[in-house]
């Protein structure tokens, strides 16, 4: 992670705002189509593998074939879209085409779920590390030799290619079943997974629209400033994820045992910890944002300072949403998330249309922040089954019921 972070900084400095923005513009397309490429299969495949041990080869083979077809069609669609909206600009087309290679090779991530079903997630972690190291070495080589942005576009796909090759090799050495394709099982799999596509697509619209609009309304450089700010403000979020992961088992256990008071208190405590850690870090980033940008990225990225001061507050509300997932799973409220994500997508697009023409990257940052507040706090308040969680969050922000000593029920 540290290697990837520092190599990323040097890569960003070397490319400059315009070329770095172009890379992120291309990556936005692959991120947007990711939900289509997976066909929602990732949400059900572990269960399928556990329930069909004797047909693992068919489950994996069919899933991979379906994803490959979807990924190729998505890659062709991306190239066609870019050729139209960017008037066939050769450099943009080349960068986008190279970035789509990663999307295609990412289908082999499917083997990751086989290792998960065997409780061998360490294999995937090692494969991912290998991919990061190979991509990092390649990027350093490009910087030293002064290569063009096209070579860096391939770097975005290289780690996916490396991870895919490692996972395939380890699957074979672990004695995995021979892969096979079943048209009948494919239909069954799609019937189980298709309804996961829409929520994922809503998340993609919410997450990637700002980069598309910055490119079309302003310039590649604005994407570079914005992407630098977002990358920096989320670089420490593994800490929040670790905090959330540490709370999950206890929350799940309390719910399972019927300790409702303790269950609610732990949820509130989690929300408070996540929110106030985020606020503390965001305050530091706001105060020292100019110095941080200058030290890490240089003078050419100083226009990232204002977007960073805005987007850093996004983290607090974003990870409140992540922390809420424990409650969502326990209460079995997943089906309502599509409305939340839909509200996020619509509000983000509208806000970007309003703010980007006037404020550029800072406008995109403001749109993302407001849309995230809508997603985490406002939209759930209008959805009856999710309203109790909104109240819990509001209580946690004022520390109501967080440190009480009520006995577990």
Structural domain ending residue among the three candidates 166, 201, 236: 201
Provide the token pair at 349. 């697009």
Encode pLDDT of 268-291 as tens digits.
Answer: 999 999 999 999 999 999 999 999
Residue 88 lies in a domain: yes
402 pLDDT higher than 90: no
Q: 25-42 burial string, b = 16+ CB within 10 Å, else e?
A: bbbbbbbbbbbbbbbbbb
Residue 405 lies in a domain: no
Do 297 and 177 reside in the same domain of the chain?
A: no
Q: Name residues whose C-beta falls within 8 Å of residue 62's C-beta, 6 or more positions apart in sequence.
A: 180, 181, 182, 185, 186, 189
Closest Cα to residue 216, out of 346, 72, 364, 338?
364
Give the integer Cα–Cα distance in Å for 59 and 48.
7
Question: What is the DSSP secondary structure assignment for residue 177, as one 8-state letter?
Answer: P
Q: Name residues whose C-beta falls within 8 Å of residue 187's C-beta, 6 or more positions apart in sequence.
A: none
Residue 196 lies in a domain: yes
| Nearest-10 crossing angle of helices 220-233, 260-297 | 130
Do 179 and 238 reside in the same domain of the chain?
A: no
- What pLDDT does residue 260 have? 83
Residue 207 lies in a domain: no
Do 23 and 120 reside in the same domain of the chain?
A: yes
Number of other CB atoms surrounding residue 100 within 10 Å: 27
Provide the token pair at 375. 């997603």
Provide the token pair at 91. 């450099």
Give the integer Cα–Cα distance in Å for 168 and 109.
9
Q: Name residues whose C-beta falls within 8 Å of residue 244's C-beta, 6 or more positions apart in sequence.
A: 270, 274, 319, 322, 323, 326
235 pLDDT higher than 80: yes
Q: Name residues whose C-beta falls within 8 Å of residue 70's C-beta, 6 or more positions apart in sequence.
A: 36, 37, 38, 39
Mean pLDDT lowest among 5-14, 132-141, 358-367, 396-405: 396-405
In whole angstroms, how far apart are CA 170 and each of 64, 110, 125, 176, 358?
16, 13, 12, 9, 52
Residue 218 lies in a domain: no
- DSSP string for 195-250: GGHHHHHHHHHHHHHHHHHHHHHT-HHHHHHHHHHHHHHTTTTHHHHHHHHHHHHH
Give the integer Cα–Cα distance in Å for 274 and 318.
10
Do 21 and 126 reside in the same domain of the chain?
A: yes
Structural domain ending residue among the three candidates 133, 167, 201: 201
Q: What are the strands, taking DSSP E only, across 256-385? A: none
Residue 220 lies in a domain: no
In the structure, what pLDDT confidence band is assigned to residue 396 with cuts at 50, 70 and 90? confident
Question: What is the DSSP secondary structure assignment for residue 408, as one 8-state letter?
Answer: P
Q: What is the domain extent for residue 316?
A: 226-397
Encode pLDDT of 87-116 as tens digits.
Answer: 878 999 999 999 999 888 888 888 888 887
Residue 232 lies in a domain: yes
What average pLDDT does the chain have? Answer: 87
In the chain the first and final C-alpha atoms are separated, in Å, by 42
Do 20 and 114 reside in the same domain of the chain?
A: yes
Encode pLDDT of 289-345 as tens digits.
Answer: 999 999 999 999 999 999 999 999 999 999 998 899 888 888 888 788 888 888 888
Encode pLDDT of 1-23 as tens digits.
Answer: 677 778 889 899 999 999 999 99
- What pLDDT does residue 409 have? 42
Give the integer Cα–Cα distance in Å for 107 and 117.
17
Compute the average pLDDT of residues 233-262: 85
Structural domain ending residue among the three candidates 155, 185, 201: 201
- What pLDDT does residue 273 have? 92
Number of domains in the chain: 2
Do 250 and 323 reside in the same domain of the chain?
A: yes
- What pLDDT does residue 129 have? 85
Do 245 and 103 reside in the same domain of the chain?
A: no
Do 115 and 189 reside in the same domain of the chain?
A: yes
Do 274 and 336 reside in the same domain of the chain?
A: yes
- Cα-trace Rg, the chain: 22
């Amino acid at each position: 992670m540290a290697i990837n972070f520092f190599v990323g900084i040097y890569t960003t400095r070397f490319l400059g705002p315009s070329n770095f923005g172009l890379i992120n513009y291309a990556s936005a397309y692959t991120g947007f189509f990711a939900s289509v490429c997976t066909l929602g299969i990732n949400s059900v495949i572990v269960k399928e593998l556990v329930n069909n041990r004797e047909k693992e080869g068919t489950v994996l083979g069919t899933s991979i074939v379906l994803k490959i077809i979807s990924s190729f069609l998505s890659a062709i669609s991306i190239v066609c879209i870019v050729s139209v909206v960017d008037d066939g600009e050769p450099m943009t087309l080349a960068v986008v085409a190279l970035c789509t290679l990663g999307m295609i090779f990412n289908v082999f991530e499917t083997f990751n779920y086989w290792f998960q079903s065997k409780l061998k997630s360490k294999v995937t972690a090692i494969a991912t590390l290998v991919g990061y190291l190979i991509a990092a070495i390649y990027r350093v080589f490009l910087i030293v030799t002064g290569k063009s942005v096209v070579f860096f576009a391939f770097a975005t796909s290289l780690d996916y290619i490396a991870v895919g090759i490692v996972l395939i090799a380890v699957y074979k050495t672990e004695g995995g079943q021979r892969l096979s394709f079943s048209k009948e099982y494919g239909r069954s799999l799609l019937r189980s997974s298709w309804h996961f596509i829409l929520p994922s697509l809503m998340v993609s619209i919410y997450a990637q629209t700002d980069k598309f609009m910055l490119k079309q309304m302003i310039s590649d450089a604005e994407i570079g400033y914005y992407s630098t700010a977002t990358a920096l403000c989320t670089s420490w979020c593994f800490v929040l994820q670790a905090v959330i992961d540490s709370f999950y088992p206890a929350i799940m256990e309390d719910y399972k045992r019927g300790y409702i008071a303790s269950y609610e208190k732990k949820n509130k405590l989690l929300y408070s910890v996540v929110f106030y850690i985020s606020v503390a870090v965001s305050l530091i980033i706001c105060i020292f944002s100019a110095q941080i940008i200058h030290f890490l990225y240089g003078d050419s990225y100083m226009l990232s300072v204002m977007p960073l001061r805005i987007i850093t507050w996004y983290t607090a509300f974003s990870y409140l949403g992540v922390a809420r997932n424990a409650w969502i799973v326990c209460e079995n409220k997943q089906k309502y998330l599509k409305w939340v994500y839909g509200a996020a997508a619509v509000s983000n697009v509208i806000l970007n249309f309003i703010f980007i023409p006037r404020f550029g990257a800072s406008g995109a940052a403001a749109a993302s922040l407001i849309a995230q507040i809508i997603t985490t706090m406002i939209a759930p308040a209008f959805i009856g089954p999710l309203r109790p969680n909104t109240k819990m969050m509001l209580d946690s922000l004022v520390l109501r019921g967080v440190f009480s000593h009520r006995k577990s029920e």
